[in-house]
Amino acid sequence: MSNNDILKKLRVALSLKTEDIITICNLVGFKVTKAELGDIFRNEDHENFKPCGDQILRNFLNGLVIYKRGPKDEKKQ
């Protein structure tokens, strides 16, 4: 299973729109454009298909944690 497949399945399972994915990536300071996401979600045989790199998926998953749980609280000492 490729990173593209994982991202597509998460988008469907969580009912996320492209704007939601952009917002989630921005939570961890990672900038991704609507056009880049469009290329990632295309079929592999399309001329504008772009493989989803590890960096994009990693930042999306880290942002998703913040999106669902909220920001991490600092430990009090």
- pLDDT tens string 21-44: 999 999 999 999 999 999 999 999
User: Cβ of 61: how many Cβ atoms within 10 Å?
Assistant: 14
Mean pLDDT of 51-58: 95
pTM: 0.86
C-alpha triplet 16, 19, 20: angle, nearest 5°: 40
